[in-house]
Amino acid sequence: MNAREVLAISYQALENAVAGVHDDQWDAATPCSQWTVAQVVQHAAADQLVWAGALGVGPGPAYDPFSPSGSIEGGAAELVKNAVEVGTAAWATVSDDTATVPTPLPHGELPTPVAMVMCALDALVHAWDVAIATGQPSPIGDEVAGHLLDAARQVVEPLRQWGAYAAVVEAGGDSSATPVADELLRYLGRTPA
């Protein structure tokens, strides 16, 4: 599996998770304790527009991704579909032999595969937040989680100081048989159960 496949899987997972939200679940609490399902969806969509903007495509979001209102005009599925389309178009401008690309992260430019997988990580972890908050199955499989965890270990630590990720959640008991998806979620400050 390459970085483009990881990104495509992540985008599909985000769209699927949003499509699975019932009308009475938009105000439900999520693993992002300060945000509702609607706010996580807004944040996830805006983040993809920010990534696209860093690559020179699109104007970026019309709102602050870190202050989502929870009010989605035009529908959540449309909001996410647009963000995925813009994100896909932005990454299509990057050839496979491009060494580095600009990112919206404080790191600046990153190796292209790492940047692409970090963009995917953002989409997939928020797909997980939405899925878990609304009783859907986890969209994170171990194969894709392995790619995401590798990239996260290269990039996430300095982002914790700005609250982008919570502290690592320690595994209880014998963690030698822990699924990679659970390891990823704990690394990102989430409790897999």
pLDDT tens by residue, 34-57: 899 999 999 999 999 999 999 999
> In this structure, is residue 166 part of a structural domain?
no
- pLDDT of residue 172 exceeding 90: no
> In this structure, is residue 182 part of a structural domain?
no
pLDDT score recorded for residue 162: 64
> In this structure, is residue 126 part of a structural domain?
yes
pLDDT score recorded for residue 173: 60
pLDDT score recorded for residue 178: 63
> In this structure, is residue 26 part of a structural domain?
yes
* Percentage of residues in the chain having pLDDT higher than 70: 92
Residues 145-149: what's their mean pLDDT?
Answer: 92
- pLDDT of residue 177 exceeding 70: no
Report how far residue 93's alpha carbon sits from residue 109's, in angstroms, rounded to the nearest whole number: 16
Q: Would you place residue 17 in the very low, low, confident or very high pLDDT band (cuts 50, 70, 90)? A: very high
Q: CA nearest 156: which of 183, 127, 118, 104?
A: 118
- The label of the residue with tokens 């979001």 reads 61
> In this structure, is residue 86 part of a structural domain?
yes
**pLDDT tens across 121-143, in order?**
999 999 999 999 999 999 999 89
**Residue 82 contacts by C-beta under 8 Å, 6 or more apart in sequence?**
45
Domain count across the chain? 1
CATH code of residue 64 = 1.20.120.450
Report how far residue 119's alpha carbon sits from residue 103's, in angstroms, rounded to the nearest whole number: 9
Alpha carbon distances (Å) from 68 to 44, 93, 133, 138, 189: 10, 28, 17, 23, 20
Residue 156 burial (CB count, 10 A)? 19
> In this structure, is residue 159 part of a structural domain?
no
Report the chain's terminal Cα–Cα distance, integer Å.
Answer: 26
pLDDT score recorded for residue 163: 62
Query: 1, 143 in Cβ contact below 8 A?
Result: yes
pLDDT score recorded for residue 155: 78
Residues 69-97: what's their mean pLDDT?
Answer: 94
Length of the chain: 193
> In this structure, is residue 156 part of a structural domain?
no
pTM for the whole structure = 0.91
Identify the domain containing residue 69 by its residue range. Answer: 3-140
> In this structure, is residue 63 part of a structural domain?
yes
